[in-house]
Amino acid sequence: MVSPSYYDYTPAFGYKYSPFFNPYNSAFYSPFNDPFYRSRNIETTPSQLQLKIDEIRNNYSYQISTVRHDKTVNGTERKQRIRELKHQRESAIIEAKGNYYNAERKTNS
């Protein structure tokens, strides 16, 4: 006869937890189904356009943070200056994209 404690810890589908079970040693494990294994192969080098956009964003984020922490200017002027810098940042990104694709088109022609 099986003790009642056996039925208390057995799930409905018949499998019990085992601290010795290792899914990497089982017959069903494949490294190609592992999401962490896949991510190592996807890394690529960024394009020149992406590097330029990252540089523009870093420069403008530094300028915005210095304006945000500047206590010599009152709040409304500070907010206006931050809005101007964000607008300039977006314009610079659009200009960088245009220059990149126009230069690419000229080299391919």
Same domain, 60 and 91: yes
Cβ atoms of residues 51 and 40 within 8 Å? no
* Rounded CA Rg of the chain: 29
Same domain, 14 and 54: no
Say how far apart CA 87 and CA 44 lie, in whole Å. 30
Same domain, 62 and 101: yes
Same domain, 72 and 34: no
Cβ atoms of residues 57 and 94 within 8 Å? no
Q: How many domains does the chain have?
A: 2
Amino acid in position 88? Q
Mean pLDDT value across residues 89-93:
98
In tens, the pLDDT along 42-83 reads 567 889 999 999 999 999 999 999 999 999 999 999 999 999
**Domain span including residue 37:** 4-42
Same domain, 14 and 38: yes
Same domain, 67 and 97: yes
Same domain, 37 and 53: no
At 18, is the pLDDT very low, low, confident or very high (cuts 50, 70, 90)? low
pTM of the model: 0.59
DSSP 26: S
Q: Measuring CA to CA, how many Å separate 56 from each of 50, 89, 95?
A: 10, 7, 11
